[in-house]
Homo-oligomer: A and B are copies of this chain.
Amino acid sequence: MIRVAIIGATGYTALELIKILLRHPEVEITTLTSRSEGSPHVASVHPQLAGRIDLPMVDLGPVEVASRADVAFSCLPHGVTSNLVPRLLDAGMRVVDLSADYRLNSAEVYAEWYGQKHNDPDRLGKVAYGLPELFREQIRPARLVANPGCYPTSAILPLAPLIKAGLVAPREIIVDAKSGISGAGRTPKLTTHFPECNESIAAYNVGRHRHTPEIEQVLSTASGRAVEVIFTPHLVPMDRGILSTTYTQPLTELTEEKVLQTLRDFYSSEPFIRVVDHLPGTKDTVGTNFCDITARIVRGRLITISCIDNLIKGASGAAVQNFNLMHGFAETTAL
């Protein structure tokens, strides 16, 4: 049994992690941490978990966490994370980090987009990026895995094979993405107050969303080409799900059949990628670790449409997939 700690267990990704890990035959959740006063029972924070797990949420330091668990899933905000993770690693733990702190290779890019100096810059560029479909071999032996962002997962999976195969121009890529509200986290804000965001769709952070450099870096790494994207996120009145519609410029004569076949070949052994003929909706993937992808050609442009559950394949499902890889379990265990 692997003893697992979840660091920062009050949010939605932690809740999903717990629900998934409770199904995992090789995992024992031993520790949940949060800064909440009075060590509340996890079920008082997440009523869905009543009767399913009997643990308090405690405020522990890294050494204490390491004495109770072998692996940490860190669900803390960026910035805070890179203060803690080195100490968890030093204490001997393996870590799957769900924050953005270890996804980028460059401290300069991090500082530019996240508006703060990185706390652990020397480690950047040496951390496995936790998208098994592209980086499985780096993930297996990793002591630290940077779990991908939700938007990047939805955008990278359809685009990487096409850019890598030289089918589309790497610098004229548009990603028009639509996300459910849980992507904004669990802290109440006016923008996520029900009567504000319900019955409305709006773009936000146009041209300056922090997932932009992550998408570009990973697509560049995966394809060996310098990739640039225009990334426009939108907030959709639903709990979960991301749909990404991408527009790219073909570099060769393309048919829909050829594009779909390229995708099918690339992902032929992947348990969680479904290349489909129909136009998928986010509901097809909600509650699952699947990414559904299709493609269309319109007036000479290539359009891909892909969707995931932002909290599963876009966060906690991917984290468990990485955990499985790191420990030699079947990759689909509990997923």
Which residues of A are interface residues toward B (Cβ below 8 A)? Answer: 12, 47-48, 50-51, 174, 176, 178, 180-182, 186, 188-190, 192-204, 206-207, 228, 230, 232, 234, 236-241, 243, 245, 247, 274, 276, 278-288, 290, 292, 296-299, 301, 303, 305, 307
21 pairs, A vs B, C-beta closer than 8 Å: A47-B278, A47-B280, A47-B284, A51-B290, A178-B178, A180-B195, A186-B196, A188-B188, A192-B195, A196-B283, A198-B237, A200-B282, A201-B238, A201-B241, A203-B243, A203-B305, A206-B279, A206-B305, A228-B299, A237-B237, A237-B238
Decide: A296 and B238 in contact? CB cutoff 8 A.
no
Decide: A298 and B243 in contact? CB cutoff 8 A.
no
With contacts A174-B174, A188-B192, A192-B188 taken as known, whether A200 is within 8 angstroms of B292 at the C-beta atoms is: no
Separation of A137 and B186 alpha carbons in the complex (Å): 44
Of A176, A186, A200, A305, most B-chain CB atoms within 10 Å: A200
Task: Give how many copies assemble into the complex.
Answer: 4
Of A178, A297, A305, most B-chain CB atoms within 10 Å: A178
Decide: A230 and B247 in contact? CB cutoff 8 A.
yes
Decide: A202 and B243 in contact? CB cutoff 8 A.
yes
Decide: B195 and A239 in contact? CB cutoff 8 A.
yes
Distance in Å: Cβ of A180 to nearest Cβ of chain B: 8
Decide: A296 and B201 in contact? CB cutoff 8 A.
no
Hey, which chain B residues are within 8 Å of A180, CB to CB? Answer: 195, 199
Of A196, A287, A303, most B-chain CB atoms within 10 Å: A196
Separation of A14 and B192 alpha carbons in the complex (Å): 20
Separation of A176 and B241 alpha carbons in the complex (Å): 18
Separation of A284 and B240 alpha carbons in the complex (Å): 16
Decide: B201 and A181 in contact? CB cutoff 8 A.
no
Hey, which chain B residues are within 8 Å of A228, CB to CB? Answer: 299
Separation of A266 and B150 alpha carbons in the complex (Å): 39
Closest to A249 in B: B172
With contacts A241-B201, A296-B206 taken as known, whether A193 is within 8 angstroms of B195 at the C-beta atoms is: no
Decide: B234 and A284 in contact? CB cutoff 8 A.
no
Hey, which chain B residues are within 8 Å of A278, CB to CB? Answer: 47
Decide: A274 and B50 in contact? CB cutoff 8 A.
yes
Separation of A232 and B204 alpha carbons in the complex (Å): 19
Hey, which chain B residues are within 8 Å of A243, CB to CB? Answer: 201-203, 234
